[in-house]
Structure 1
C-alpha cells in the first residue's frame, strides 16, 4: 500500500510504492458518529479526454445501525452534485468541507436498508490522474477516494458485498478494475462500457481502476487467473514479472492460505508515468519505476492478505497493513533471491528505519505519521523479532489463525497480540508495548577483552531517551572470518557484564544472525592496540591511523586532549600502546610520565613517538632508567634517517626527514640503537628489558625513499617487536586492489583514496554503502549507465573513517561488493 519516507533531509529515499505527500499528516479517525453500515457500491462513470473529468452515478446500498433520518457521506468540494436520491426520493443536503449531510426521505430504524443514488460530475481535485492517453485512479486513503466518488471514506467500514464498476471510455482503451469482467458493451461515439463485478468486502481506498491501450497476458496459477495488463512495449518484462509473481504466490499461498480472492483474479497493471505502486484489490497498479521490480511485486501481492482481505481497524494502526506486508515482502524476496537477498532487504529496511527514528522519534502506532518509514520498515522488524523470539512454527500458526479470524473485516493491534499470546502461551504485552508504542530503539556499546581463558564482555544501552529496552541478544564469536560460537543473553538492564568461556576470537559481534532492531554505537576491543593521541589537537593522528589501517591493525583511539588520560582499567586489557605527541618542546606532563610508568610496571608494550621528549627530560632518571638512553643534543638540518645494520627494527631502512632540528640520543644503559642521523646519534631506539620503542621523530615527518623499506614496514616491525601481528609481513607493503567488477557493478581504486563505481542499471535503482555495523552511510539514485566517484563522505558530507565498507546495487540486479576506504 501507500508508502512515504517522511524526512527533514534527503537522506531517506521513498519506498517504491510512492503513495503519499511527504508532508501529509493523518489525524485520528473522524469523530462523526457512524449510523449506518455500507453494504455495496456501484459506480457508473464515464471519463472524458483528456481524462481529467468524469460524470456519472454512485449507488450505495447501506443498512442503518441505529434510528436515523439523515446520513453523512464524504465527497470532494471540487465536484458538482447534480442530485441525491434515496429510495426513489430526491433529498436535500448540506455540504461542509468534504462531508455531505443528506436529509433522508423518512426515518429508518436499526436494521433497515436503504439505497442512495448520488449523481455528479466534474474534475476531481485528487484521485484521478490522466496519463499518456489514458488514466488511473489512486486513492491516498482518507485523502483521495472521496475526491472522485462519494463514499464513507474510513477504513473500518468496508462495503460488505463489494463493488460494481461500469466504466465508459473510448474504444481504444481497456478499462481494468477489481473483480471479474462480466461484459463489455459497445456504445455510440466509439465508446465501450466495461462492467467489472467484485463480490468481496472492500475498503474505499482499494476501489480503483485504470484504462490504457493494454496488452493482456494471462495464465492460471493454483486454479485462479493470474493476469498482467502491460503497455505494448513491456510485454516481455511483464512475462518475467508473472514468473516472479508465481514464486511469491507459491510462498504466500503456503504460509497463510490460498490467495483470498481466488474465485476472481489477481491482476497487475502498468501505468506509464506513475512512479509508485498500489495494492488496489485484485487489480494492483505499478508505475514504470516499479513494474519490473520483484520486491515491489512481493510487497503489493502480500497486501492481498494484509490490508485487502484483512484491514487495520483505523489509520493509527496502519502498521497492521504496512509493517506486516513489509515483512512478508522480505520473505518473498528470500523466495526470489535466497537468504542473502532476504538479509540485504531486511538490513536495508533497518538502515532507513533507524534514520527515521533518529529524526522523528515516533512510535509505530498512534503516531501522527501512520505512513512513515518506521511504520513500514521498523514494523517489518517487529514481525521479524517476534518470529525469532517465539519460533517460526508458533509465529506462522498464529498469523494463519489471525488472518482466518479477521479476514473480510478489520482487526486491531490488540487482536494480533491476543492471537500471538494464544499460540505462544505467554504474555506478549510488554513486547507489543515496547516496540509499537514506544519510540526509538536500543543503542548499544560493547567493550570486550580477554581474561585468562575467557572473554569478558561489557554491553551497555546508551540511548538518551529514558527508556531501557528488554530483548534477547545474541553475541557472535569470530575466528578467521568464521562464526564459531553464539551466546545468547536476556537483556533488561542498562548494563550487562558477562564472562564467556571461549577460544580467543579475532572479534565479537552483536546480533550476528540479524534478529534485533538496534543501533551499534561502538564495538570496542580492549585487547586492541591502544593508540594514544597526545598531540594537543594538532591532528598528528592522521599519519598513525593511516599506516595502521594500511597494515590492517585493529586499534582503539584515545584522544587525551578531549578524553583525559586513559583509565588503568582499560589499559590492563590492551595488547600494547602507541603513544605520540606533537612538536611541543615539553610534550609530557608529570601525569603523562606516571601513566607511561604504569605501562612499564605492568609490562604493557609501548611505542613512544615524541620529538621534544629527549630535550625535556635530558637529565631525568626517566629518560635514562626507563627509556635506556641519554640526550646528546639536536642535529641540524639532517634529512636522512638511516636504519642500523642488522637491527630488528631499523635494518635496510632509509627515510627522508624534513630539514628540522631533531633530537639525537645515545644509549649508555640498556637501549639498542635502531636508526640514526648519519653517524651523529640515534633518533630511534628499543628497550628490550621493558619492550619499549622510543622515537624522537614523529611519523608525520617520515617520507619513503625509493628502493628502501617504507614507514609501513617500520611500524609493522615495531608492532611485531611488541608482539602485535599486522595483516602483512614485515617486509611487505599494503596495496589496495585496482579493480573489482562484474556485469553490473565495477569498483575501481583511484589515486588519493578515491573510489570509482561504474554502474550499468537496467532500471532505476539505488547504489547503497553500509559500514560494518550495518548502518547506511551513503546512497545514490542510479539509472542506465552511470559513473560515480566517491571520496568517502557520508550522507551529510562528513568524512568517514578508513576501513571496510559494503557497496550494494539494490533491485533485481542486486550486487554486493566489499571495499576498503583509505
Structure 2
C-alpha cells in the first residue's frame, strides 16, 4: 500500500515462548461480505477526454454464485452528490435489460431468476460521471494533464462498480480509450494498443492473477517508458513523466531486480506478469498496486536517495504480502503493512548489512514508543474496524514489523523462514487471517504461539524492565521487574549476554520473564565483566539494568 496511505500519515520512513493456552478469536470488520458470491473478473471499458473530467464507462462483471436462491447482486459504486459520482444508465445480462437500484453508494442488480449453485453470469453496467475520489484527474507538477488511480483503501467504488473489499479477489482488465498523446499503464500485461480515428488510442491491459480491488490501477500521462530488465522472463519497467526521463530511469533502475530475487529465494515465487515502477501524482509516497507500483511526484530526484530506495523495497515486498497473500479482513491489515515493513528490513540486512538493519529496528522502536505515549491501549489487530479512516497508523507498520522480528527470535531464524515459506505457499493468490499465519508458524516451530500472538497483537501496552545483577561464589543473581504501569503484563523469553573478562563475545543465557517481579540465578565459571539484556536486539522493550552496588 501507500507509504502515505491515508494520504498524509503514510510517509513514515520505512527503514526505519512461551507455552500459553489462550484462545484467539478472529475479528471482522463491518463490510457486508457475501462469500456466496464470487467475482471472477472485471473488464472496465473507460473513455477519457481532455475536454471534460467526466469518464464514460461500460464495465463487465463476471460472477460465480456459490449457493442457489440468490436473488440480487450487490456492488459498491458511489452515487452522484454535488456534481461528482457515478450515474448508472443501464444494466444488461445476455442481452436482457435488468432491473437495478443505485442508492446510498450501493448498486443492487435484480437477477432474472434466482441463482443456481456454481452459476456463472456476466453483467454489463453502463455508467458515467466525474470521480469524487479514487481516480485523480489533474495536472502533474509540470502542468501536464494526467489521470491516476488511488483506490486505497476502499476508493475503487468511486469510479468502478465492484465488490470493494479485499476478501473478494478477482482478475481485471482495463480497456482505455484516450487521446493518443497519452500512454496508459495498468495491471498485468499489455494486450492491445491501437490508434483509431479522431486522435484516439485504445489500450488494453489484462491482469490474469486475482488481486484485491485496492490494487487495481490505472495511470494515463505523457510518459517516458524504459524496459529495464527481466526477472524470470518477466519485464521490469520504469514509467516516469517525460520531463523526468533521465533522472527517473536512473532512480528506478536499482534495486528492483535484487529485491525480486531476494524475496523469491526466501519467500516463494513472484506471482505476477511484470513489475513497473511508475511516477504518479495520486499518491504521496508509494502505492503497491499489483504489477504496477505508484510513487509520488517527488520520488524522482536523480540521486537514488536512501529514503526512496526504501520505499521501492517496501512496495515490492507488498507484491508478496498484501498483494499475493491478502488479509481477508481489514482488521488484519498488519499482515500487509507490518510484513512489508519487516521484509524491507530483511532485504536491507541482506543487501546492506547488519548495521543498517539494526539502525532500522531502532528507528522503528522510537516511533513505536512515541505512538504508545499517546495511545497506550492501541492494538495491532483491529477489533471490528468501523471507520476506514482508522485502518492504518504508524504503529501497524512499525510495531507490526517488530512483532515479526520478535517471533523470529522466539522461533529461531531457520524455523521462521520455514513458516514464512509455508504460509506463502498455502495462501499465495488467496486470502489469509492472523490465525492462519499463527497456525503455519506453530507448525514450523512446534510451539504454541497463541499467547505471544494474543499479548502482542490483540493487547496494548509496552514492555519495560528494571533490574540489577550481582555475582557471588560462581553464581550470578539477576533481579528483573516489569515496571510498565499501564496494566499490561507480558510473558517473554529474554536473552542475557554475560561478558567474561577479556572477551568481546558474550555467553548467551535465556530466561523466561513472566511475572511482575522476577529473580534468576545462573552458574558461571568466572566473575563477569558486564551483563546486558537482549544483546542481539530481539525484544521490543525499554530497560534499566546495571550491576548492583
Pick one of 315, 335, 355 that aligns with 1:320.
335
What's the counterpart of residue 287 of structure 1?
296
C-alpha contact (below 8 Å) 1:74/1:100 kept by paired residues: yes
SS of equivalent residue, structure 2 residue 190:
strand
What SS class does the counterpart of residue 105 from structure 1 fall into? coil
Q: Which of 203, 208, 221 is residue 212 of structure 2 equivalent to?
A: 203
Q: Given the alignment of the two structures, is residue 277 of structure 1 paired with residue 292 of structure 2, yes or no?
A: no
8 Å CA contact 1:2–1:371 kept in 2: the answer is no
Matched, 1:511 2:534: yes
Shift in alpha-carbon separation, 1:234–1:516, aligned structure 2, 3 A? farther
Once the 2 structures are TM-superposed, how far is the Cα of residue 193 of structure 1 from its aligned partner?
1.4
Larger RCO of the pair (alpha carbons < 8 Å, separation 6+) = 2
Instruction: Indicate which of 436, 439, 460 corresponds to 2:457.
Output: 436
SS in 2 for 1:250: helix
- Structure 2 unaligned spans of 5+: 15-26, 80-84
1:13 and 1:406, CA in 2 relative to 1: closer, same or farther beyond 3 A? closer
Using the alignment, how far apart are the partners of 1:408 and 1:435 within structure 2?
27
What is the alpha-carbon distance in structure 1 between the residues aligned to residue 103 and residue 64 of structure 2? 24
Q: Which residue in 2 is equivalent to 1:356?
A: 371
Structure 2 match to 1:297:
312
Aligned mate of 1:90, from 69, 81, 97:
97
> 1:4 and 1:240, CA in 2 relative to 1: closer, same or farther beyond 3 A?
closer
Superposition pairs of residues 283-682 of structure 1, within 5 angstroms: 283-290=292-299, 292=304, 293-360=308-375, 361-367=377-383, 368=385, 369-449=390-470, 451=472, 455-477=476-498, 482=504, 484-500=506-522, 501=524, 508-520=531-543, 522-526=544-548, 573=549
The structural deviation recorded for 1:95 is 2.6
1:63 aligned onto 2:64: yes
User: How far 1:120 sits from its partner (Å)?
Assistant: 1.1
Q: Higher mean Cα deviation, 117-126 or 454-463?
A: 454-463
Deviations 1:273-331 (A, max 9, x none): 73211111100111144455111111111111111111111101111111122111111
TM-score, structure 2 as length reference: 0.86
Give the match for residue 122 of structure 2.
115
Whole-Å Cα distance in 1 between the matches of residues 399 and 2 of structure 2? 16
Q: CA RMSD in A?
A: 2.6
Equivalent position of 2:19 in the other structure: none
Q: Tell me which of 261, 265, 272 is aligned to 1:250.
A: 261
CA contact (8 A) 1:4 1:372 kept: no
Alpha-carbon distance in 1 for matches of 2:521, 2:220: 66
Partners of 2:483 and 2:347 in 1: CA distance: 35
Q: Alpha-carbon deviations, 1:414-472, whole Å to 9, x = none?
A: 11111111121222111211211111221111334555666543211112233321111
The alignment partner of 1:201 has SS state of: strand
**1:201 Cα deviation after fit:** 0.7
Relative to structure 1, the CA distance from residue 409 to residue 50 in structure 2 (aligned partners, 3 Å threshold; closer, same or farther) is farther
Structure 2 counterpart of 1:152: 163
Alignment of 1:228 onto 2:238 = yes
Which residue in the other structure is 1:138 paired with? 150
For structure 1, the residue ranges without an aligned partner over 5 or more in a row are 18-25, 527-572, 574-822
Larger Rg: 1
Secondary structure of the 2:112 match is strand
Q: 1:49 to 1:450 in 2, by over 3 A?
A: farther
Kindly tell me: are residues 433 and 186 of structure 1, through their superposed partners in 2, closer, same or farther at Cα, counting changes over 3 Å?
A: same
**Equivalent of 1:241 in 229, 252, 257:** 252
Paired residues, what number? Answer: 510
SS state at 1:68 partner: coil
Mapping of 1:249-268 within 5 angstroms?
249-261=260-272, 264-268=273-277
Asked if the contact 2:148/2:282 (under 8 Å) is kept, the reply is no
Task: Report the CA distance between 1:94 and its aligned residue.
Answer: 2.2
- Indicate how the Cα distance of structure 1 residues 174 and 16 shifts in structure 2: closer, same or farther if over 3 A, else same: farther
CA distance in 2 between counterparts of 1:52 and 1:194 reads 19
Q: Residues 105-143 of structure 1: CA distance to partner in whole angstroms, max 9, x if unpaired?
A: 23222211111111111111111112422121001222x
Distance 1:301 1:388 in 2: 24
SS in 2 for 1:225: strand
Q: TM-score, normalised by structure 1?
A: 0.59
Give the corresponding residue for 2:75.
73
8 Å contact from structure 1 (residues 29, 154) kept in 2: no
Gap change, CA 1:31 and 1:189, over 3 Å in 2: same
Match of 2:23 in 1: none
Range that drifts further, 505-514 or 339-348 = 505-514
